[in-house]
Chain A
Amino acid sequence: MTKKEQQKEKGDKEKKPVTTVDDLYRHSTQYRLWSFTENQLKERRTKVNVQGKRRALKKLKVFCERDDNDHKFETSRDLLQLVSEDEELLEVNYYVDVLQKLSSQVLKLPSQVRATAVAFLKRFYLVHSVMEHHPKKVLATCLFLAAKSENCFMAPKTLAEYLGSKTTPESILELEFTLVQALSFTMLCHHPYRALHGFLFDFQGILIHRHPNGVVVTRKDESTGEKKKLRIKINKDRIMKGYVAAREWADVSLKGDTAFLFTPPQIALACFLKVDEEMTVAYLTYKFVKDQHKDRQEEGGKEEEEEEEEEDSDDEDNPETKFDNDEEKDENKTEEEKQKAKEVEKEKELEKELEKEQHIQFYKKMIKTLRSCIRTMDSVRGPTLDEAKTIDKKVHYCINPDKLLKRKRQEGADGGQHDAKKIKLEG
């Protein structure tokens, strides 16, 4: 249980409940409607895929039953290649990539708009399948709507000029309502960029302003592999460099499911952790463990002693397998502490210990979350160009079954001739 939760509980007992900053996030639509566990995401995608397959077949059937052609549904059904769940995901990922490149390199939009457009596109395909609406079309509408909702309006005409001849202002606006409806009319997206900016400040606040004499970090010796504790000074240039690099990772985080599985501040911290582990771990330990404790107990003499103890929490950033050992160590030390505490004030000390334990637990939980966030970020796989092309073709025919049948008929008609030509050429 975290400190905040405990505070909340206390509040419940004593008087009115307290709304923390996290509770505010829990009230946001991003949390309520667009945050999922991995299983929930998978379920949703399966559902969407089934729905898409059904719609594609229905479309084909409707087309075959029209009077102006002699296609039979039973035969043409075998011709139609439906898109599988995995392929669908790859297709969306591919177009997310396209969208990012387009908005950053061609349209040169602010990162907030880009991120919102990507979020819209990804959310849209949790409601509709690629077999219902082609991502190429939805992408344009997403861009338009994102620019509009992020207060960076672009006229559909201007946007259509950038997007090539096939996109017209009408085609952009045509899907606007479908998109808004798929988004359940929730336009406000929270992205890691602002959180990153906030951490840029708080890193400075904690690592530089609060500890002008430097902070203690654990560093692994390259040659011997031994861990050493060092007191280093972190300057603003290092933080700034980390921030710039982390921003790039924030761009990457838009791609996969990261935004569905984690909250913006978590993603932001994970980006920092990825680019400068030492600094981020130092920040986390000082922010959530050491400084928390020091605030309550302003006894200069004890400070150093405690610092040494708390260094243990430093180790916890290392792979989770280490956790058990560290916990044991902690327990040993707490026992020693208790004996000392008997002499002074037993209860107070106990309380402090409990609180400290909670801080450490919170820290561990945080690190664990960040690590899994990084893993999610790393695991994003976009399709290769060939894969993308084949999937795109399938998607195209699912949406336009008439074109598929026309094509097949043509192939059937001049298939023989083709072969003849080939043979001739080879000959």
Chain B
Amino acid sequence: MTEVADSYLEDINNDVCPICKTDKYLNSNMKFLINPECYHKICDSCVDRIFSSGPTKCPYQGCEKILRKNKFKSQIFEDISIEKEIDIRNSIVKIFNKTEKDFKTLEEFNAYLEKIEEIIYNILNGVQVKETNEYIANYKQENSKSIHQNNINIQRQHDIFLKIENKKKLINDEKQKLSKQLIRELQNDKKIANQQITNNLLNSSLDTNLIVENARKNLLKQSSARRKKYIEQTKLLQEKFMSQEDLEMMNYSNPGLPGFRKHRLMQQQATMMSPFSPFNGDRSVNLPFEVEEEYFDPYTSNVIKDAQYLAGGIRVEQIYKKSLFEAFFGLDCIIKEEKSA
């Protein structure tokens, strides 16, 4: 019981602003904000109240950090340490923003990534803060041009990505509309066809079977024509919304791989072309036996009749093959000769 009560209390504490003691329960519009300087939680009205007149100290007791109102933001992760790490990571990655393309070998790129992680770790855990900050400042100075350029590139790619995503969404919406329309039309056709059949049956002197058959054929023709039209329309959609320019941009947002990566990928594909051989050699295709369709065996014939086994995916050919395989599994391994060496 106490545990439950404790957690309940904690919940309450989580929902109460530690400065003005306002409860979220009473004021559902209340939002908690944090400042990346010290990561103390303060409600939005307090922020307005305390920081509107300019930067001041954090209202938490013992916290001497000077906070500015414009740096406050809402918390994304429940765990403050994660929130903190993400912030640091974002700021670092903005500076260390080289891509795979900027490196000649994979090793160099990996070393670069490793360096970034090391910096983040240092800042987060307060290890060698001075040296790390110096390193960052130096790097920033040395590479200011490329950092700027890369950031612009990243931004542009992101913009293009958003644009294309929007277009894709539009296309999908249109497609859905069309498919709904198609279904409606098909149903309509069917109704009309049924009516026609009844009319014809009442009025004409033809054979009833023939009438029904004709009507059915007509309906099929109609529906297939409609389907064709639908497919054409969906194809047109793609062209209508995605201009040539967009397609080019799509390629731009997915830039090609750097040389070393391409090379490796090609190698991988080459090895993937041949079947996987775990024993340093290809499996012999010519097995020393042939599996026939049926054998006389009381044991397996019982199994085939049993629905339980069949439902489990057991097939009699598999049993035959497996048993036969085991029959030749090491038949020609003469231990006496092979092991004595």
Q: Across the interface, do A19 and B282 meet the contact criterion of CB distance under 8 Å?
A: yes
Task: Say yes or no: is B103 at the interface (Cβ < 8 Å to chain A).
Answer: no
Asked if A201 and B297 sit within 8 Å, CB to CB, the answer is yes
A-side contacts of B292, CB under 8 Å:
201, 204-205, 209
Given the complex, which residues of A lie within 8 Å of B277, measured CB to CB?
Answer: 16, 19
Residues in chain A near residue B340, CB distance under 8 A: 37, 39-40
> Are A4 and B332 interface neighbours, CB within 8 A?
yes
Stretch at the interface among A93-101, A258-266, A319-327, A348-356: A258-266
Q: Give A253 Cβ to nearest chain B Cβ, in Å.
A: 14
Contact of B329 among A24, A38, A204, A262 (CB under 8 A): A24
Most buried by A among B279, B320, B332: B332
Instruction: Report which of A11, A24, A194, A261 forms a contact with B335, defined as CB distance below 8 A.
Output: A261
A329–B331 alpha-carbon span in the complex (Å)? 28
B residues less than 8 Å from A7 (CB atoms): 284
Whether A264 lies near B332 (C-beta < 8 A) is no
Q: Mark A262-300, 1 if CB is under 8 A from B, else 0.
A: 111110110000000000000000000000000000000
| Nearest-Cβ distance from residue B323 to partner chain A, whole angstroms | 4
Residue in contact with B323 in the complex, picked from A35, A201, A266, CB distance below 8 Å? A201
Which residues 264-282 of B sit at the A interface, judged by CB distance below 8 A?
Answer: 274, 277, 279-282
Contact A198 B326 (CB under 8 A): yes
B286 nearest CB neighbor, chain A only:
A7
Encode contact with A along B277-302: 1 for CB under 8 Å, 0 otherwise.
10111111001111010011111000
The answer to whether B334 has its CB under 8 Å from any CB of chain A is yes
- Contact of A194 with B296 in the complex, beta carbons under 8 Å: no
Query: Number of A residues contacting the other chain (C-beta, 8 Å)?
Result: 53
B341 to A, closest residue via Cβ: A37
| CB within 8 Å for A240 and B339 given contacts A19-B283, A21-B287, A266-B331 | no
A-chain residues with CB within 8 Å of residue B280 when the two chains form the complex: 17, 19
A236 at the A/B interface (Cβ < 8 Å)?
A: yes
In the bound complex, what is the Cα–Cα distance between A20 and B296 (angstroms)?
28
Q: State A276–B329 Cα separation when bound (angstroms).
A: 22
B314 to chain A, nearest CB (A): 15
Contact of A21 with B335 in the complex, beta carbons under 8 Å: no
Q: A205 contacts B289, CB within 8 Å?
A: yes
**Please, which residues of chain A bring their CB within 8 A of the CB of B281?**
11, 16-19, 23
Contact B295 A200 (CB under 8 A): yes
Residues in A neighbouring B322, C-beta threshold 8 A: 194
* Cβ of B111 under 8 Å from chain A: no
- Residue B51 lies at the interface, judged by CB distance under 8 Å to chain A: no
- In the complex with contacts A198-B323, A198-B325, A264-B326, A205-B290 CB distance below 8 A: yes
> Which residues of chain A are near B279, meaning CB under 8 Å?
19, 23-24, 27
**Distance, CA A11 to CA B332, complexed state (A):** 18
Which residue on A lies nearest to B328, using beta carbons?
A21
Determine if A20 and B284 form an interchain contact, defined as CB atoms under 8 angstroms apart. yes
B333 interfacial contact with A, CB 8 Å: yes
16 chain-A/chain-B pairs, Cβ below 8 angstroms: A19-B277, A19-B281, A21-B330, A23-B281, A27-B279, A35-B335, A37-B339, A197-B297, A197-B299, A199-B327, A201-B320, A202-B327, A204-B292, A204-B295, A239-B296, A265-B326
Binding site for A on B (CB under 8 A): 274, 277, 279-284, 287-290, 292, 295-299, 320, 322-336, 338-340
